[in-house]
């Protein structure tokens, strides 16, 4: 298995990621992603921004996917598998030219609080990484906050380290 | 004698103010001497009484002149500015004494430098900054909304400090040994944003005084502060240390 490794053994510091308050706009978040990652050619896995409240409590995370999703027009967000047959996107072909272009500036003024993934799940420093792996798999997370005493945000566990650790265990057995 | 240039785009009272200030600073008008009356100044410079009054008032406000009730206006100091007698706390900037001044922290969090904050703080745009937003009240009445931006690496533990009951400068100095040695202040007129108006209890777009401050320790930028204040309530005082010639 993972040699009894704990979340604190794998976690990375929170200042590895940009921080923003929840009232920042998507536009501001996009600029921060560009400055912090893309223009510096730093591509950590995942590229994400941490969103905080006014008391510096972690509220949620924003990945590139979340940001792009926030820039979709509302009618796209309403699309569900019940309305469009799976794998059949031909009905949407007419909008490819306008998607992420038309009204995108207006949509980018929305606050990030509307599009972030709320930080509902976390582990504690002394939790085993198997718990972190379980939570990431079952809650579809790529980044998991580590909270001390269920309150103080002290680090982040990433999928890549969890995967690496578990894959090492498989290969050695 | 230097005269008002009506072709000049500068306002008349500012031109007159400059002329009179030069007379004082070059000792053409000696300290202690009485300046000409308003009527005499009107005749001398061919301007209205309102122009003279505004220029003289500015010189009084800046400490060059002193008015004596029933006697006239006198040269008080022949002065050269030598820089700010630095006031670092907002309490020091509010003119009235004896008033109950308090601050409430609305936000104390961490963010990235957006817009041109990186340039203002002299940091790279990927550096984290501490953001503090406070409302200042005088006699329980909101008068000023202040936002402070501090590079995170300057004072990483600041987030855990009690900034409601201690001034930032006291914390910088006593806890972290950071001495603020230089401050640049800028004032302007602005209009309140919707959020600022909500906090100050005024409609969006209301006129307000904007105070921008840059604080340094040596050559290191420690903090950038932006404050908006209602113009009709209380006054700022910015005191200048001057050398008497």
Q: Residue B55 domain-assigned?
A: yes
Residues B43 and B88 in one domain: no
Residues B133 and B59 in one domain: no
Find, in chain A, the residue whose alpha carbon is nearest to that of B110.
Answer: A19
Task: From A12, A7, A17, select the one nearest A156 (Cα to Cα).
Answer: A12
Q: Residue A99 domain-assigned?
A: no
Residues B22 and B98 in one domain: no
- Confidence bin at A11 (pLDDT 50/70/90): very high
DSSP one-letter code for A11: -
Residues B49 and B155 in one domain: no
Q: Do residues B113 and A23 make contact, with C-beta atoms less than 8 angstroms apart?
A: no
Q: Over range A121-142, report the average pLDDT.
A: 94
Q: Is the ipTM of this complex over 0.90?
A: no
Across the interface, whether the CB atoms of B107 and A52 are under 8 A apart is answered no
d(CA B149, CA B133): 9
Q: Residue A90 domain-assigned?
A: no
Higher pLDDT, A49 or B163: A49
Residues B31 and B121 in one domain: no
Sequence-ordered strand ranges (E) for chain B: 65-68, 72-75, 79-84, 101-111, 129-138, 141-151, 182-191, 207-217, 220-229, 240-244
| B contact test, residue of A13, A14, A16, A20 with most B CBs within 10 A | A20
Q: Residue B166 domain-assigned?
A: yes
Number of other residues whose CB lies within 10 A of the CB of residue A41: 6
Residues B23 and B38 in one domain: yes
CATH number of the domain within which A67 lies: 3.10.580.10
Q: Residue B2 domain-assigned?
A: no
Q: What's the total number of domains in chain B?
A: 2
Across the interface, whether the CB atoms of B114 and A15 are under 8 A apart is answered no
Q: Do residues B92 and B50 make contact, with C-beta atoms less than 8 angstroms apart?
A: no
For chain B, give the longest Cα–Cα distance: 64
| A contact test, residue of B104, B108, B112 with most A CBs within 10 A | B112
Residues B109 and B129 in one domain: yes
Residues B104 and B44 in one domain: no
Length of chain B in terms of residues written:
245
- Confidence bin at B81 (pLDDT 50/70/90): very low
Instruction: Give chain B's mean pLDDT.
Output: 83
pLDDT value, residue B89: 53
Q: Over range B104-111, report the average pLDDT.
A: 95
Angle at A155 between CA A152 and CA A158, to 5 degrees: 140
Domain's final residue, options B77, B101, B126: B77
- Confidence bin at B84 (pLDDT 50/70/90): very low
Residues contacting A66, CB < 8 A, separation 6+: A115, A116, A117
Residues B17 and B46 in one domain: yes
Q: Residue B63 domain-assigned?
A: yes
Residues B54 and B171 in one domain: no
Angle at A121 between CA A116 and CA A127, to 5 degrees: 140
Point out which residues pair with B75 in neighbouring strands. B65
Across the interface, whether the CB atoms of A56 and B110 are under 8 A apart is answered yes
d(CA B208, CA B236): 13
pLDDT in tens, B207-237: 999 999 999 988 889 999 999 988 766 666 5
**Considering only CB atoms, which residues of chain A are within 8 Å of chain B?**
15, 18-21, 24, 28, 31-32, 35-36, 40, 52-56
Q: Residue B1 domain-assigned?
A: no
Residues B190 and B136 in one domain: yes
- Measured between beta carbons, which residues in chain B are less than 8 angstroms from residue A55? 107-109
Using DSSP's 3-state secondary structure scheme, residue B176 falls into helix
> What domain range is B184 assigned to?
84-242
pLDDT in tens, A88-105: 566 666 566 666 666 788
Residues B28 and B107 in one domain: no
Q: Do residues B222 and B180 make contact, with C-beta atoms less than 8 angstroms apart?
A: yes
Domain's final residue, options B77, B102, B117: B77
Is residue A10's pLDDT more than 80?
Answer: yes
Q: Residue A142 domain-assigned?
A: yes
Across the interface, whether the CB atoms of B110 and A19 are under 8 A apart is answered yes
Task: From A71, A78, A151, A164, select the one nearest A119 (Cα to Cα).
Answer: A151
Q: Do residues A142 and A65 make contact, with C-beta atoms less than 8 angstroms apart?
A: no
Q: What's the total number of domains in chain A?
A: 1
Q: Do residues A119 and A59 make contact, with C-beta atoms less than 8 angstroms apart?
A: yes
Q: Residue A87 domain-assigned?
A: no
The two tokens of residue A1 are 């298995």
- Using the structure block, give the residue that is written with the tokens 């009232």: A23
| B contact test, residue of A36, A111, A152 with most B CBs within 10 A | A36
- Confidence bin at B8 (pLDDT 50/70/90): confident
Find, in chain B, the residue whose alpha carbon is nearest to that of A22.
Answer: B111
Outline where chain B has alpha helix (H).
12-25, 38-45, 49-61, 90-93, 117-121, 168-170, 176, 194-200
């Amino acid at each position: 298995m993972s040699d009894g490794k704990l979340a604190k053994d794998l976690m990375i510091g929170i200042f590895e990621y940009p921080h923003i308050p929840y009232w920042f706009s998507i536009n501001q978040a996009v600029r921060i992603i560009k400055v912090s990652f893309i223009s510096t050619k730093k591509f950590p896995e995942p590229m994400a921004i941490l969103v905080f409240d006014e008391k510096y409590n972690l509220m949620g995370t924003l990945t590139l996917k979340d940001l792009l999703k926030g820039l979709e027009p509302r009618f796209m967000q309403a699309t569900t598998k019940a309305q469009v047959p799976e794998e059949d996107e031909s009905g949407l072909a007419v909008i490819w030219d306008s998607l992420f272009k038309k009204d995108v500036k207006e949509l980018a003024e929305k606050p990030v609080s509307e599009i972030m993934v709320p930080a509902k799940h976390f582990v504690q420093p002394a939790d085993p990484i198997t718990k972190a792996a379980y939570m990431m798999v079952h809650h579809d997370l790529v980044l998991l906050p580590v909270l001390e005493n269920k309150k103080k945000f002290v680090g982040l566990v990433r999928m890549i380290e969890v995967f690496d650790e578990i894959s090492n265990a498989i290969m050695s057995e | 004698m230097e005269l008002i240039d009506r072709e000049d785009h500068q306002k008349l009272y500012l031109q007159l103010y400059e002329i009179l200030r030069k007379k004082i600073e070059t000792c053409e008008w000696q300290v202690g001497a009485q300046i000409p009356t308003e009527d005499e100044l009107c005749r001398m410079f061919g301007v209205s009484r309102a122009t003279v009054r505004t220029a003289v008032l500015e010189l009084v406000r800046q400490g060059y002149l002193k008015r004596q009730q029933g006697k006239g206006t006198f040269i008080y100091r022949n002065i050269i500015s030598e820089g700010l007698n630095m006031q670092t706390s907002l309490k020091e900037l509010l003119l009235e004494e004896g008033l109950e001044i308090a601050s409430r922290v609305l936000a104390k969090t961490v963010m990235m430098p957006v817009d041109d904050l990186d340039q203002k703080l002299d940091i790279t745009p990927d550096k984290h900054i501490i953001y503090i937003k406070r409302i200042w009240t005088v006699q329980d009445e909101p008068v000023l909304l202040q936002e402070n931006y501090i590079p995170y690496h300057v004072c990483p533990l600041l987030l855990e400090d009690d900034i409601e009951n201690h001034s930032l400068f006291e914390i910088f100095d006593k806890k972290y040994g950071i001495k603020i040695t230089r401050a640049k202040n800028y004032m302007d007129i602005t209009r309140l944003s919707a959020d600022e108006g909500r906090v100050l209890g005024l409609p969006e777009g209301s006129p307000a005084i904007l105070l921008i401050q840059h604080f340094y320790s040596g050559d290191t930028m420690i903090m950038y502060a932006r404050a908006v204040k209602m113009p009709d309530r209380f006054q700022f005082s910015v005191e200048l240390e001057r050398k008497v010639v």
